[in-house]
A and B are shown apart, each in its own frame.
Chain A
């Protein structure tokens, strides 16, 4: 009797182990559970960080609000999952999160080998260097960094870019590699390193939290392309479409001048393109074909505003970071932000 029970137990275990992970319809599962699981950073002001009330704020966070508004009609149905750079891809691959919105650089190897898809570029960044001008005066270029000790974060594309850049320019350097932004910043601030390297946006944000921000200079060299944006799993094209077109909607809305404040009026615009974007055209099916409501763009803009508003609020002129639009301006203004047409 006992052995038969053991056998049954064993059989059960084998069945459980062989049950293959069937492809999940992410959109359906989000609607069913009523919330969006969003992977963010462990704290990087301007992109994703908690404010003094414990609420998540930032450019990457607002994108999750936008997707939540598009899918569920409510921007607040987001569950945040702060992830270190080491576990972020595993969390996405295993289905723990639905979307990774965490300043992740779009690279070929990540799409080729990690089973991931990038849905858009929320921010065109580039890697730079910061030095303490009080301690190492006279350094105005990264080419002068020979012999320097550099604080860098582990697992970022930055670690590789730096090695390649210094190698190409025949500059000797000594890296000190940290797991967390806070630890790297503290070590740099304490003088462990001469140089702190990261994406330039992060350098500006890191500089704010140093003991004497005015002493630190961001060097002019940008040594890499760092297009960062939201990431989803491969093999769920419907979900990829939803995320991708939510991003395009944010950019398109800015191009049309649709803002959080005027979106209701814009519904009655005489411009057919605006009406189509906002799902107000008779017989419009774009939204419903995506598996969303026909006016999902209205929900998105009402929740977070257009791309420009998100930018200015979190990292632009209305924020302490005061980052210029630069490459992140619309294509009509000489930047790279360009939405595919809503037709």
Chain B
């Protein structure tokens, strides 16, 4: 066999050829990326522009309002970016929870047989999904600033809450010794509930007898935690807000920036989630409901045991997209001066002038957040997916 023949045998092996082409393409893409990076670095150096990530260890010099972790103007740029990232994660997490709750309520409400509820929910969806989110952010922000009173004329609400145009001030919990033990008891209560739920499921499968799992679990956690709290001598005090020269001092503040962004994002995203939920429920074949009723199940059991589990299979994938959208839309924070990752990164970019590095950090972090959300939702999706036996 000649060399030429051996080559043509290799060339005609389609699997081998496929791998070879993939490897070549991958190498080509990597080398193009490398060349671009080298070229950019060279150009920056020629233009006498600083580059590299050393700035992350330099003193930031600017303040951030209400950081979630210890931060002063003496902290580093790296820490400032972490403060921004935590704020982004806070707004994304709280927004997702609120949007999901509102979205499910409105989505189910649209299918209500009550004419008024169904129309109100439809109106909600049409209003909020047809407005740009930036407009909603401004609406809430300027609404809070112009409707609520100045700090000196704060509205005093029950539970030592103060509401004014600087935000909502509430007593800050101050933990003291022994709270860790109470928390441990709380976790133990949760674990016990899981074990209980498992036992109840197995018993129902064997004997058909049902057990009020939810009620007993909640009781278990609340009673155990309360007993532990009292036994430990109530290891929790509160720092109550009082009126100062300019502002309410003491307590913890939720600023109007956070509140307006939270409201806007959760109301906006909820309108999309509502439609997804409605589509999911309507996507379950009518025969399923009819069969469940024929078996004699109560309407609530039909919903919770038959319809919702099947609707979830339709709901989860588009719901994931909405969660990602909400996370990305949180960058609208910059419009109202909430110190999220984009805002803090923007300040850093300005002070250091290192645009390429900051934008790379932004992209990497948003990509990581989105991928993490996707991975979690895909896991959840796989869990509720139809398992064919």
Q: Which A residues contact B (CB, under 8 angstroms)?
A: 10, 13-14, 17-18, 20-21, 23, 85-86, 89-90, 93, 110, 112-115, 135-136, 145-149, 151, 154-156, 159-160, 162-164, 167, 173-179, 183-184, 186-187, 190-192, 194, 233-235
Residues of chain B lying within 8 A (CB to CB) of residue A135? 150
25 chain-A/chain-B pairs, Cβ below 8 angstroms: A10-B32, A20-B43, A90-B355, A114-B353, A145-B246, A146-B246, A147-B246, A148-B247, A149-B247, A151-B337, A154-B350, A163-B62, A176-B65, A176-B257, A177-B343, A183-B335, A184-B337, A190-B165, A191-B145, A192-B145, A194-B247, A233-B47, A234-B48, A235-B46, A235-B48
Which one of B34-42, B187-195, B225-233, B305-313 is at the A interface? B34-42
Q: Is B256 an interface residue (CB 8 A)?
A: yes
Q: Which of B39, B48, B73, B334 contacts A18 (CB 8 A)?
A: B39
Q: Is B166 an interface residue (CB 8 A)?
A: yes
Q: Are B63 and A86 in contact (CB under 8 A)?
A: no
Q: Are B49 and A93 in contact (CB under 8 A)?
A: yes
Residues of chain A lying within 8 A (CB to CB) of residue B352? 113
Q: Is B61 an interface residue (CB 8 A)?
A: yes
Q: Which residue of A lies closest to B165 (CB)?
A: A191
Q: Are B347 and A155 in contact (CB under 8 A)?
A: yes
Q: Is B249 an interface residue (CB 8 A)?
A: yes
Known: A163-B63, A190-B145. A18 touches B35 (CB 8 A): yes
A233 to B142, CA, bound (A): 40
Q: Are B165 and A174 in contact (CB under 8 A)?
A: no
Q: Which of A85, A114, A160, A194 contacts B49 (CB 8 A)?
A: A114
Taking residues whose C-beta sits less than 8 angstroms from the other chain, chain B's interface range is: 35 or more
New contact pairs (19) apart from A18-B35, A155-B347, A179-B337, CB-CB < 8 Å: A113-B353, A115-B44, A149-B166, A154-B343, A154-B347, A155-B351, A159-B62, A164-B73, A167-B73, A174-B65, A179-B335, A179-B343, A183-B337, A187-B145, A190-B145, A190-B146, A190-B165, A191-B165, A234-B48
Known: A20-B39, A163-B61, A190-B146. A113 touches B50 (CB 8 A): yes
Residues of chain A lying within 8 A (CB to CB) of residue B334? 179
A144 to B254, CA, bound (A): 25
Interface of A is mostly: mixed
Q: Is B5 an interface residue (CB 8 A)?
A: no
Q: Are A14 and B35 in contact (CB under 8 A)?
A: yes
Q: Are A14 and B150 in contact (CB under 8 A)?
A: no
Q: Is B349 an interface residue (CB 8 A)?
A: yes
Q: Are A147 and B36 in contact (CB under 8 A)?
A: no
A136 to B151, CA, bound (A): 11
Residues 213-251 (chain B) with a chain A CB within 8 angstroms? 244-247, 249
Q: Is B346 an interface residue (CB 8 A)?
A: yes
Q: Which residue of B lies closest to A186 (CB)?
A: B142
Residues 349-379 (chain B) with a chain A CB within 8 angstroms? 349-353, 355
Known: A149-B166, A154-B346, A191-B165. A160 touches B62 (CB 8 A): yes
The 4 closest A-B CB pairs, nearest first, are A155-B350, A113-B50, A190-B145, A115-B49
Q: Are A20 and B246 in contact (CB under 8 A)?
A: no
Q: How far is the CB of B349 from chain A (nearest CB, A)?
A: 6
Q: Which B residues contact A (CB, under 8 angstroms)?
A: 28, 31-32, 35-36, 39, 42-44, 46-50, 61-66, 73, 142, 145-146, 150, 165-166, 244-247, 249, 255-257, 334-337, 339, 343, 346-347, 349-353, 355
Residues of chain B lying within 8 A (CB to CB) of residue A155? 346-347, 349-351
Q: Which residue of A lies closest to B141 (CB)?
A: A187
Residues of chain A lying within 8 A (CB to CB) of residue B246? 136, 145-149, 194
A235 to B49, CA, bound (A): 11
Q: Are B145 and A17 in contact (CB under 8 A)?
A: no
Q: Are A192 and B49 in contact (CB under 8 A)?
A: no
Q: Are B62 and A179 in contact (CB under 8 A)?
A: no
Residues of chain A lying within 8 A (CB to CB) of residue B146? 190
Q: Are A93 and B47 in contact (CB under 8 A)?
A: yes
Known: A160-B351, A163-B61, A163-B63. A234 touches B47 (CB 8 A): yes
A102 to B262, CA, bound (A): 35
Q: Are B66 and A110 in contact (CB under 8 A)?
A: no
Q: Are B245 and A115 in contact (CB under 8 A)?
A: no
Residues of chain A lying within 8 A (CB to CB) of residue B335? 179, 183
Residues of chain A lying within 8 A (CB to CB) of residue B44? 115
Q: Are A190 and B142 in contact (CB under 8 A)?
A: yes
Q: Are A163 and B47 in contact (CB under 8 A)?
A: no
Q: Are A235 and B47 in contact (CB under 8 A)?
A: yes
Known: A135-B150, A147-B244, A160-B61. A176 touches B337 (CB 8 A): yes
Q: How far is the CB of A187 from chain B (nearest CB, A)?
A: 7
Q: Are A173 and B50 in contact (CB under 8 A)?
A: no
A17 to B46, CA, bound (A): 16
Q: Are A110 and B353 in contact (CB under 8 A)?
A: yes
Residues of chain A lying within 8 A (CB to CB) of residue B62? 159-160, 163, 175
Q: Are B64 and A17 in contact (CB under 8 A)?
A: no
